[in-house]
């Protein structure tokens, strides 16, 4: 691959770790002009470094005395090189030479490049590579938390949380599952085509496609398929993970109802609700972020849906009239359930942040619950593995608002995921994103 692609990967990583952007938009903006092969290479490096950043830094720590003193470009250049050495089939000489060229390239622009240091460090790594083979064994690795955290590049606080809940074996499986490529899952637009017919269409286009195990409208595609490959099926599908589709099944919307989607963008669940309603009724899709609202409207138009009314507003400020038959609150959260798709999540939050999310989620739930009709159904959902954002939010809500109770969902396909009316999915158990969901109604 050309030096420019490696340089672009390094620049993308710098932007992500500086908090300027997220992986998907950063890659889309950078890779627009790349051919298919270079784009795949860029994505492999960026997502690979994000998945294994802490392990790569641990290796570098044996060859650098003052890693923290390096500039962001240099440290991420070294990370990309180490990822290629340890996880990709790239010749060692090529990795070292290209990393030096990358260092020279940005060094000419800001004079902060250190090609000699990069060359020396990587040559030492190559010579001593056999000292550091997975599973890595840390010098002070005296607990399962330290071991799993190092080898899967997860924060120790999160691993400790999981060890208490799941035990060592399942914690390791969950952390390892988070570092695997997620399935490419789409949802059939059943207003235009059946799932079987869409699968046949994709197969005729040479795209490997199979029905999902649980979601009745879902299709799993080959990992190598790109959005461009699906251009011939535009309007016939939406990209949506199977767990996300099941949340809409928990809501179980019916034709002719008036429904609120309180945090709607980018619109996967919103458009799924419209499909289940046969595009009959009204869905008020609320989104406070103007940029995300544009994405929501684009997805609605692509699928040809007319029952959705987008509203650029804050769900906290919607009033208190009981006007909706059903409400979906897919609340903002830590996104620990979608680490497979967004590995940068691992480095963005601390344990204390879970309680802050909980407070905000509880406030949102109390606010939107006032908009539910007496016979209505409210579904609270988060793409989080953590009980602080799931079970604990529901428990606190029910303690302070005795008017509500949990509904035992009557949808057979959800039985495997339900316990006490609370729905849970996990990457390592179900090969889908980690979601929590609970359906609520007013007491009789």
CATH number at 32 reads 1.10.940.10
Same domain flag for 285 and 387: yes
- CA pair distance 226, 222, nearest whole angstrom: 9
Does residue 199 lie in a domain region?
A: yes
Position 112 scores a pLDDT of 72
Is 383 an annotated catalytic residue?
yes
338-to-65, 83, 249, 378, 438 alpha-carbon distances in Å: 35, 22, 19, 23, 18
Position 110 scores a pLDDT of 59
Tokens 């999902």 locate to: 212
Same domain flag for 280 and 388: yes
Position 320 scores a pLDDT of 77
Same domain flag for 198 and 318: no
The CATH number linked to 223 is: 3.30.70.1170
DSSP characters over 5-68:
HHHHHHHHHHHHHTTS--HHHHHHHHHTTS-HHHHHHHHHHHHHHHHHHHHHHHHHTTT-S-GG
Domain containing residue 30: 3-131
Position 365 scores a pLDDT of 97
For residue 328, what are its two tokens?
Answer: 């979906």
Tell me how many domains the chain contains: 4
Same domain flag for 32 and 58: yes
- Collapsed DSSP state (helix, strand, coil) of residue 215: coil
**Of residues 249, 263, 333, 383, which has the active-site annotation?**
383
Does residue 140 lie in a domain region?
A: no
152-to-50, 334, 370, 387 alpha-carbon distances in Å: 11, 19, 43, 22
Does residue 139 lie in a domain region?
A: no
- CA pair distance 74, 99, nearest whole angstrom: 9
Per-residue pLDDT of the chain (444 residues; tens, 9 = 90+): 556 899 999 999 999 999 878 898 888 888 778 888 899 999 999 999 999 999 999 999 999 988 778 899 999 999 999 999 999 989 999 999 999 999 998 766 555 778 999 999 999 999 999 888 888 887 666 689 999 999 999 999 999 999 999 999 999 999 999 999 999 999 999 999 999 999 999 999 999 999 999 999 999 998 788 888 899 999 999 999 999 999 999 999 999 999 999 999 999 999 999 999 999 999 999 999 988 999 999 999 999 999 999 999 998 888 777 799 999 999 999 999 999 999 999 999 999 999 999 999 999 999 999 999 999 999 999 999 999 999 999 999 999 988 999 998 777 889 999 988 999 999 999 999 999 999 999 987
Same domain flag for 264 and 373: yes
Q: Judge whether 436 and 422 are in contact, CB under 8 Å.
A: yes
The CATH number linked to 295 is: 3.40.50.150
Same domain flag for 268 and 402: yes
């Amino acid at each position: 691959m050309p030096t420019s692609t490696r340089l672009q990967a390094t620049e993308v990583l710098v932007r992500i770790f500086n908090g300027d952007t997220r992986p998907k938009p950063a890659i889309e903006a950078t890779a627009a002009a790349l051919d298919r092969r270079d784009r795949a290479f860029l994505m492999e490096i960026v997502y690979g470094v994000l998945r294994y950043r802490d392990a790569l830094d641990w290796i570098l720590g044996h060859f650098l005395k003052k890693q923290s003193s390096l500039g962001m470009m240099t440290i991420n250049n070294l990370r990309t090189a180490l990822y290629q050495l340890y996880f990709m089939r790239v010749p060692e000489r090529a990795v070292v030479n290209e990393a030096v060229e990358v260092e020279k390239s940005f060094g000419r622009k800001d004079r902060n490049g250190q090609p000699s240091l990069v060359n020396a460090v990587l040559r030492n790594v190559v010579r001593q590579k056999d000292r550091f083979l997975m599973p890595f064994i840390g010098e002070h690795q005296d607990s399962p938390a330290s071991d799993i955290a190092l080898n899967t590049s997860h924060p120790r606080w999160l691993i400790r949380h999981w060890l208490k809940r799941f035990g060592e074996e399942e914690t390791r499986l969950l952390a390892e599952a988070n570092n695997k490529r997620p399935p490419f899952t789409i949802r059939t637009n059943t207003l235009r085509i059946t799932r079987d017919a869409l699968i046949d269409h994709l197969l005729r286009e040479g795209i490997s496609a199979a029905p999902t195990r649980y979601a009745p409208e879902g299709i799993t595609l080959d990992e190598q398929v790109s959005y461009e490959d699906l251009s011939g099926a535009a309007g016939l599908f939406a990209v949506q993970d199977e767990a996300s589709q099941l949340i809409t099944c928990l809501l179980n919307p019916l034709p002719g109802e008036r429904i609120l989607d309180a945090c709607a963008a980018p619109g996967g669940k919103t458009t799924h609700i419209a499909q289940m309603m046969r595009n009959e009724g009204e869905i008020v899709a609320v989104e406070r972020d103007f940029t995300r609202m544009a994405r929501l409207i684009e997805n609605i138009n692509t699928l040809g849906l007319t029952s959705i009314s987008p509203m650029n507003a804050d769900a906290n400020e919607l009033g208190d009239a009981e006007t909706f038959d059903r409400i979906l609150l897919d609340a903002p959260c830590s996104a620990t359930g979608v680490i497979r798709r967004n590995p940068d999540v691992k480095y963005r939050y601390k344990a204390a942040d879970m309680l802050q999310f909980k407070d905000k989620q509880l406030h949102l739930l109390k606010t939107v619950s006032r908009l539910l009709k007496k016979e209505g159904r409210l579904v609270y959902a988060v793409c989080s593995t953590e009980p602080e954002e799931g079970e604990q939010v529901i428990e606190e809500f029910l303690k302070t608002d005795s008017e509500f109770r949990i509904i035992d969902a009557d949808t057979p396909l959800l039985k495997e995921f339900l316990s006490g009316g609370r729905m849970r999915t996990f990457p390592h158990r179900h090969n889908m994103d980690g979601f929590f969901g609970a359906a609520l109604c007013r007491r009789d």
